[in-house]
Chain A
């Protein structure tokens, strides 16, 4: 951990982000036609900025196909982005410089750091951004440096049935990261594996078994133990409980919380299950078709959701209590294809509060309340105080979090 990363590792101030990314984009090419040329792009992630602080959990929610998993993989550099940068442990001055540069870009041209610059100062900003990226960005690190860093950035996969090799013993699965990174002698590694197994609530006798001998919950524990092996600082949890039963899901969530408290871990918790995200996260970002539409502290987001999509998503969660009947927003139709996203606001085709402006202008992500960001034309950037459009079908946002946006009566 020398060289370029070393100065960035110095900061331990918890107010600084552990990992921060700017304008991440990932377009997957669609090939076809003559000679398999590129005939289009699937815009899986389209301009996502995200930061995660130390011992903090950021929840990332959205429907399937909205790009949640791709964001998680980009943050770990498991795939290379089309554009955008991620910084791991940026020092305060670098971070401040980055933010001011991105602000300059936004205000001067409306460009977001990826397109061609129109004005001279924007061009200068772009150039400087490029220099900073060369020095610090995760995506421009050399292979050897990246390998060192991989120990600090880990992932727990969604499907515990396909993420463990069926030919390896549990002992080898958990010990493999240690072996790859040459962490300690053979006996030290064995001790570490035994310790890990205890941490995730398995017995030492389980070490000598193969994955197929375990239930889903136990396999997910093995996956967590493997991710913890190199004492990471940041773990991407990619739907860690969606393949599990509720009673087992609770066990896994409790383990994750315990580990976070003990080891000051930071999580990016990716899930489509909002109740789970609420139970786990400090902050939540809501994604729709490759973009973040709303970002806020968990309490704030769940009690006063601003974006119509978030409101619909919240009202769609079934509540395990039949005595609670509430107004429900049922969205029409399906998620559009990310290969041809709608122009303007991407949600306008399904939005219950759609306005004429929505179909041609893309709303920017703006801070309408303290630490509450939303990308929606209902909340104009100049206003400051969020005033829902009285003309639209969007009614007042209730204090109790239940809104009456174009609500359909529950039958």
Chain B
């Protein structure tokens, strides 16, 4: 049990990167060189949607890798399966109608899709030719429960429409706090329990802060408030003091009074203390559950023994803590935790360069503009320092100037936190700005993967070439735009062989019959097209 109560362990043995056979040394080092470990490895992923019209083959054998600290762009037209890929990785595919049929999603060597085959059985009716699925909802539930160990801390997501992804009835701070408490609850509780509002150095620090606020130098004020936080052994108290000092009128006497009031609020009553300890024990159990889930996925068998122990422990804690569920008591005991997460939220919002984080944190989603909400979404996704961030069309709903702000922000965060980003978009220009490597998708398959520079300089697949040629170029506006004839095929009855052949100008007889294998054409450049005869890529 002692081992179980520790928080999430460091990554298990990370798989060494299999090098492609024909790779020459890269001409110039990129920030994510081929040696950094693979954090996400998707292999031959198949996701189908079972509809009344037939089975939609939304993803049909998608494979790609994301390395640590790298931005992988996933680009393609509407309906090519970009978002389905993202949702499959975190298992958010609405089921029914969708099902992941086969494949592997390895997150640091852990197979997230383990146990998938036992969750449902697919039978084809011999008379009608219709696919029928028998789902075992109990197993699906355990499978989704297991994913909770990975979602958030492991893989986090930014959704396309910031206005629709937020809950309209909770304030921004409430929604970010939820994520913070869920994933960083134990350190938050520890900080609260360890705060020392009565330490002898707090009062001098507060007086220094008041002095600084009279002078009005922002940097010095920030430094002074940081020292207040250090003195009280609670970083957020510094943040709180900073904003109190900023809101205060210059030369006002009541700043000190307000600061002292805030300081007194840090005193925990006996009941609050007991509650926090209880809450901490519950979080420990949840963390232990996550560890069990992770080890289950790693080892490929259900750990019934530990599950049973933990379930019993969770039940006991629920029983012994029934008192805190009583309305009236709950609000009082949770106040310190709420305050703490609010100011932590403010800290996080500062990091995404929001000018007035306190007002934004108090605000509700409808009060914020699209660009601001997208920042909040990014804050929420990054609040827990995820290993992988999946950004599903993060700038599509935004204006160009706001898009530039968000892209700038994401680039900065990538270098600072070192999160791997899977960026999904239909805009090749956005990909060119941010991504290190690019996968081009067409009709549920990846047709070309290359480093961004290679892809834009030497696109190999006819579809990629067509896509690049159809972007209006700012530098050469007079050129007639070339376009790809036709439109994206129906994925219920996709074309046989290469799915692009009906629209391809290089189509050969073989293209209508055989699905092209993915071949290696140069360093880190793979393509699935019969025009190229390089060595077959190792998936």
Chain A interfacial positions (CB closer than 8 Å to B): 63-64, 215-218, 245-251, 253-254, 257, 272-276, 278-279, 298, 302, 312-313, 315-323, 328, 330-335, 408, 411
B474→A330 contact, CB < 8 A:
no
- Quick one: closest A residue to B434, CB to CB? A318
A-B contact pairs, 20 of them (CB 8 A): A63-B401, A63-B402, A64-B399, A217-B487, A218-B487, A246-B471, A247-B483, A247-B484, A254-B481, A257-B480, A275-B471, A279-B472, A312-B401, A313-B401, A316-B404, A317-B474, A318-B427, A320-B428, A321-B432, A323-B456
B334 contacts chain A at the CB level, 8 A cutoff = no
A204 CA / B477 CA spacing, docked (Å): 33
**Per-residue contact bits, chain B 466-495, to A (CB 8 Å; 1 contact, 0 not):** 111111111001001111110110000000
B372 contacts chain A at the CB level, 8 A cutoff = yes
- Quick one: closest A residue to B484, CB to CB? A247
A352 CA / B405 CA spacing, docked (Å): 14
- Residues of chain A within 8 A (CB-CB) of B355 are 332-333
The answer, among B369, B372, B402, B429, for a CB contact under 8 Å with A317, is: B429
**Per-residue contact bits, chain B 438-481, to A (CB 8 Å; 1 contact, 0 not):** 00000000000000110011000000001111111110010011
B474→A275 contact, CB < 8 A:
yes
B430 contacts chain A at the CB level, 8 A cutoff = yes
B197 to chain A, nearest CB (A): 37
A188 CA / B468 CA spacing, docked (Å): 42
- Residues of chain A within 8 A (CB-CB) of B407 are 318
- Residues of chain B within 8 A (CB-CB) of A246 are 77, 426-428, 467, 470-471
A320 CA / B469 CA spacing, docked (Å): 10
B399→A330 contact, CB < 8 A:
no
B201 contacts chain A at the CB level, 8 A cutoff = no
B403 contacts chain A at the CB level, 8 A cutoff = yes
B481→A253 contact, CB < 8 A:
yes
- Quick one: closest A residue to B477, CB to CB? A278
- Residues of chain B within 8 A (CB-CB) of A257 are 480
A276→B472 contact, CB < 8 A:
yes
- Quick one: closest A residue to B371, CB to CB? A334
Among all A-B residue pairs, the 9 with the closest Cβ atoms: A250-B483, A318-B429, A250-B470, A316-B404, A279-B472, A250-B481, A247-B484, A63-B399, A275-B472
A318 CA / B411 CA spacing, docked (Å): 14
- Residues of chain A within 8 A (CB-CB) of B405 are 330-331
B470→A247 contact, CB < 8 A:
yes
- Residues of chain A within 8 A (CB-CB) of B469 are 250
Given A215-B488, A253-B481: A330 touches B404 (CB 8 Å cut-off): yes
B78 contacts chain A at the CB level, 8 A cutoff = yes
A66 CA / B426 CA spacing, docked (Å): 25
Given A318-B427, A322-B456: A278 touches B472 (CB 8 Å cut-off): yes
- Residues of chain A within 8 A (CB-CB) of B468 are 320
B471→A320 contact, CB < 8 A:
yes
Add 13 more A-B contacts to A217-B487, A249-B470, A279-B473 (CB < 8 A): A63-B402, A246-B77, A247-B470, A248-B483, A253-B472, A275-B472, A279-B477, A302-B474, A313-B401, A318-B433, A320-B473, A330-B405, A331-B404
- Residues of chain A within 8 A (CB-CB) of B299 are none
A334→B372 contact, CB < 8 A:
yes
- Interface secondary structure of B, over-half rule: helix
From B415, B429, B483, name the one whose CB has the most chain A CB atoms within 10 angstroms.
B483
Given A274-B474, A322-B452: A334 touches B402 (CB 8 Å cut-off): yes
The answer, among B432, B435, B470, B474, for a CB contact under 8 Å with A278, is: B474
B480→A319 contact, CB < 8 A:
no
Given A253-B472, A318-B432, A331-B401: A215 touches B487 (CB 8 Å cut-off): yes
A273 CA / B400 CA spacing, docked (Å): 8
B412 contacts chain A at the CB level, 8 A cutoff = yes
B399→A247 contact, CB < 8 A:
no
- Quick one: closest A residue to B426, CB to CB? A245
A323 CA / B472 CA spacing, docked (Å): 18
B408 contacts chain A at the CB level, 8 A cutoff = yes
- Quick one: closest B residue to A66, CB to CB? B399
B440 to chain A, nearest CB (A): 12
**Per-residue contact bits, chain B 389-413, to A (CB 8 Å; 1 contact, 0 not):** 0000000000111111101100110
- Residues of chain A within 8 A (CB-CB) of B403 are 316, 318
The answer, among A313, A315, A320, A411, for a CB contact under 8 Å with B432, is: A320
A360 CA / B474 CA spacing, docked (Å): 35
Number of interface residues of B (CB under 8 A): 49
A278 CA / B472 CA spacing, docked (Å): 8
A257 CA / B481 CA spacing, docked (Å): 10
Given A254-B483, A411-B415: A319 touches B77 (CB 8 Å cut-off): no
- Residues of chain B within 8 A (CB-CB) of A411 are 408, 411-412, 415
A129 CA / B477 CA spacing, docked (Å): 40
- Residues of chain A within 8 A (CB-CB) of B77 are 245-248
A63→B400 contact, CB < 8 A:
yes
B525 to chain A, nearest CB (A): 14
B490 to chain A, nearest CB (A): 10
- Quick one: closest B residue to A251, CB to CB? B483
A385 to chain B, nearest CB (A): 27
- Residues of chain A within 8 A (CB-CB) of B431 are 320
A246 to chain B, nearest CB (A): 5
- Residues of chain B within 8 A (CB-CB) of A321 are 432, 456
A274 CA / B404 CA spacing, docked (Å): 14
From B400, B433, B470, B480, name the one whose CB has the most chain A CB atoms within 10 angstroms.
B400
**Per-residue contact bits, chain B 119-157, to A (CB 8 Å; 1 contact, 0 not):** 000000000000000000000000000000000000000
- Residues of chain B within 8 A (CB-CB) of A216 are 78
B480→A254 contact, CB < 8 A:
yes
A321 CA / B452 CA spacing, docked (Å): 8
- Quick one: closest B residue to A328, CB to CB? B404
A34 to chain B, nearest CB (A): 24
A298 CA / B474 CA spacing, docked (Å): 11
A275→B399 contact, CB < 8 A:
no
A198 CA / B146 CA spacing, docked (Å): 56
Given A246-B426, A275-B473: A320 touches B456 (CB 8 Å cut-off): yes
- Residues of chain A within 8 A (CB-CB) of B426 are 245-246
A245 CA / B78 CA spacing, docked (Å): 7
The answer, among A218, A247, A272, for a CB contact under 8 Å with B466, is: A247
- Residues of chain B within 8 A (CB-CB) of A312 are 401
A187 to chain B, nearest CB (A): 32
The answer, among B78, B430, B453, B480, for a CB contact under 8 Å with A323, is: B453
A368 to chain B, nearest CB (A): 23
A410 CA / B136 CA spacing, docked (Å): 51
Given A312-B401, A334-B369: A318 touches B483 (CB 8 Å cut-off): no
A316 CA / B403 CA spacing, docked (Å): 8
- Residues of chain A within 8 A (CB-CB) of B372 are 334
A65 CA / B468 CA spacing, docked (Å): 30
From B404, B415, B427, B488, name the one whose CB has the most chain A CB atoms within 10 angstroms.
B404
Q: Which of B33-78 contact A (CB under 8 A)?
A: 77-78
A318 CA / B452 CA spacing, docked (Å): 14
- Residues of chain B within 8 A (CB-CB) of A254 are 480-481, 483
A120 CA / B435 CA spacing, docked (Å): 65
- Residues of chain A within 8 A (CB-CB) of B433 are 318-319, 322
A279 CA / B404 CA spacing, docked (Å): 21
A274 CA / B452 CA spacing, docked (Å): 23
A253 CA / B483 CA spacing, docked (Å): 10
A272 CA / B402 CA spacing, docked (Å): 12
A323 CA / B485 CA spacing, docked (Å): 29
A250→B399 contact, CB < 8 A:
no
- Quick one: closest B residue to A277, CB to CB? B472
A275 CA / B473 CA spacing, docked (Å): 6
A318 CA / B73 CA spacing, docked (Å): 15
A279→B432 contact, CB < 8 A:
no
From B78, B405, B432, B477, name the one whose CB has the most chain A CB atoms within 10 angstroms.
B477
A316→B472 contact, CB < 8 A:
no
- Quick one: closest B residue to A257, CB to CB? B480
A167 to chain B, nearest CB (A): 22
- Residues of chain B within 8 A (CB-CB) of A249 are 470
A401 to chain B, nearest CB (A): 9
A377 CA / B473 CA spacing, docked (Å): 31
